[in-house]
Amino acid sequence: MSHFTKQGLSPFKTKRGFLNLHYRFSFPCIFSPSKRGIDTHASRHLDQKPLISDAELRFEFAHHDPAVARVNNGSFGSCPASIIAAQQRWQLQVLRQPDDFYLNRLRPGILHTRTVIKGLINAGDVDEISIVDNATTAAAIVLQQAGWAFAEGRFNQGDAAVMFCHAYGAVKKSVEAYFSRAGGRVIEVQYPFPISSKYEIISEFQKVLEKARSDGHKVRLALIDHITSMPSVVIPVKELVEICRNEDVDQIFVDAAHAMGCTKVDMQEIGADYYTSNLHKWFFCPPSVSFLYCRKSETLPDLHHPTVSHEYGNGLPIESSWIGTRDYSAQLVVPEVVEFVSRFEGGIEGIRKRNHEKVVEMGQMLVKAWGTNLGSPPEMCSSMAMVGLPACLGISSDWDGLKLRTHLRECFVIEVHIYYREPEDGEVNPVTGYARISHQVYNTIDDYCKLRDAVNKLVNDGFTCGLLSN
């Protein structure tokens, strides 16, 4: 099946229809109410609405700067025009009569969102779902509780938290601000990058937990990314959670900022204690909204939102639903977003699969064009892929990576996140820079051709990062 058209339409569009398939998967199993027990609202709409057309899709993202090859959906996500309109309708309702809204409509609206999410992620109970601003906030909630545990003597000085060396910068700082500050020890799990298989991660993780045990360090908290940010790799969370259970880790927190809409998200499958994902990255919500799942348990401690309101003590979902006067509208459009994704073949699963296939295809195209390599095998890519940049570009620091990114934005009108990888001793002509390319429904092959050609031009011109001023 050729998905490319000369007109530069989305590779998934042919002149006839949305997908060049011989038959249609109208209702993939993820939306089967019996399998997932989800709100039938989504499946009803699958029955009724036509699939989104080319023109409609372009309209939905017409507010994106058309000059930019926007291959960085991973950083800030994207939101269709109809969802922004829905959000503004909610905002107007508030401004029209805020007292009535806050007293009578906000809580049911948030409960509706929570219920929809519960269905989407296969959680057991809506009480397990809280809505917060973003994964950064969710991390602070989990870590603040650990800080109290030290202060109140439930954790001992020196008890450990385990996290990946490639964990998100803000989460690392949060661990420092709450866990280390309170007297905890932090153990980082190193794994190689580029990476060849998930077993490299699993074995390193196992080793670290075993060593912690033999050194007599109680591991109170494991922080596991579902999809790391930089460099972006899908982590085998299910296996790692199992190892944690075998090693008697107290609390397992999965930071899945990217996961929703980007990889499979199933709370029963994964089995973590806490799990958070942003909905504004890959799930078309406006900035910003995310969920924090907390497994119902007799042994897990109470979590609290750090912004304390009169709802304090009523459970995290209720506390999070009122943290003072603010704009909650992004949290209220989740039902509209579910309708939106249902207009794509296969719903969010279909979108996810096609994004993954496309980003791998584009990644491989770039790798061939530049003579480099992918940072991980395709099965460890999500809707993002790490693509090696030519070594001659001379990316020799994080700062170089940022300068190159700026240069690509300003001179080539391309938005792409660049990762700097420190080479190992003895590496000859190492690939030290990786472009993290994303694919979302609005991307076309032209975006990646533009990136390909820009880098080729830089190479041909003898460009190096050293030439860029600070």
Where do contacts with another protein occur on this chain (CB under 8 A)? 63-65, 68, 70, 72, 75-79, 84, 88, 91-92, 94-100, 102-103, 133-137, 139-140, 143-144, 147-148, 150-151, 169-170, 173-174, 176-178, 181-182, 278, 280-281, 286-288, 304, 306-310, 312-313, 323-327, 330, 406, 409, 415
- The CB density around residue 112, as the number of other CB atoms within 10 Å, is 16
Closest distance between another protein and the C-beta of residue 2, in Å?
Answer: 31
Closest distance between another protein and the C-beta of residue 229, in Å?
Answer: 11
If the CB atoms of residues 13 and 407 are measured against another protein, the closer one turns out to be: 407
Angle at 52 between CA 47 and CA 54, to 5 degrees: 160
If the CB atoms of residues 84 and 365 are measured against another protein, the closer one turns out to be: 84
If the CB atoms of residues 77 and 375 are measured against another protein, the closer one turns out to be: 77
Q: Are strands 433-438 and 384-388 parallel, antiparallel or unpaired?
A: antiparallel
Closest distance between another protein and the C-beta of residue 391, in Å?
Answer: 25
Closest distance between another protein and the C-beta of residue 203, in Å?
Answer: 30
If the CB atoms of residues 91 and 206 are measured against another protein, the closer one turns out to be: 91
Contact 141, 229 (CB under 8 A): no
Nearest to residue 419, comparing CAs of 74, 170, 67, 64?
Answer: 74
Closest distance between another protein and the C-beta of residue 331, in Å?
Answer: 11
Closest distance between another protein and the C-beta of residue 176, in Å?
Answer: 7
Closest distance between another protein and the C-beta of residue 68, in Å?
Answer: 6
If the CB atoms of residues 100 and 422 are measured against another protein, the closer one turns out to be: 100
Distance CA 102, CA 139 (A): 27
Closest distance between another protein and the C-beta of residue 237, in Å?
Answer: 21
If the CB atoms of residues 82 and 376 are measured against another protein, the closer one turns out to be: 82
If the CB atoms of residues 51 and 323 are measured against another protein, the closer one turns out to be: 323
If the CB atoms of residues 286 and 401 are measured against another protein, the closer one turns out to be: 286
Closest distance between another protein and the C-beta of residue 239, in Å?
Answer: 28
If the CB atoms of residues 163 and 201 are measured against another protein, the closer one turns out to be: 163
Closest distance between another protein and the C-beta of residue 26, in Å?
Answer: 31
Contact 441, 57 (CB under 8 A): yes
If the CB atoms of residues 104 and 268 are measured against another protein, the closer one turns out to be: 104
Closest distance between another protein and the C-beta of residue 80, in Å?
Answer: 10
- The CB density around residue 193, as the number of other CB atoms within 10 Å, is 19
SS3 sequence of the chain: CCCCCCCCCCCCCCCCCCCCCCCCCCCCHHHCHHHHCCCHHHHHHHHHCCCCCHHHHHHHCCCCCCCCEECCHHHHCCCCHHHHHHHHHHHHHHHHCHHHHHHHHHHHHHHHHHHHHHHHHCCCCHHHEEEECCHHHHHHHHHHHHHHHHHCCCCCCCCEEEEECCCCHHHHHHHHHHHHCCCCEEEEECCCCCCCCHHHHHHHHHHHHHHHHHCCCCEEEEEEECECCCCCCECCHHHHHHHHHHCCCCEEEEECCCCECCECCCHHHHCCCEEEEECCCCCCCCCCCEEEEECCCCCCCCCCCCCCCCCCCCCHHHHHHCCCCCCCHHHHCHHHHHHHHCCCCCHHHHHHHHHHHHHHHHHHHHHHHHCCCECCCHHHCCCEEEEECCHHHCCCCHHHHHHHHHHHHHHHCEECEEEECCCCCCCCCCCCEEEEEECCCCCCHHHHHHHHHHHHHHHHCCCCHHHCCC
If the CB atoms of residues 64 and 112 are measured against another protein, the closer one turns out to be: 64
If the CB atoms of residues 78 and 376 are measured against another protein, the closer one turns out to be: 78
Closest distance between another protein and the C-beta of residue 225, in Å?
Answer: 15
Q: Are strands 219-225 and 160-164 parallel, antiparallel or unpaired?
A: parallel
Distance CA 453, CA 40 (A): 46
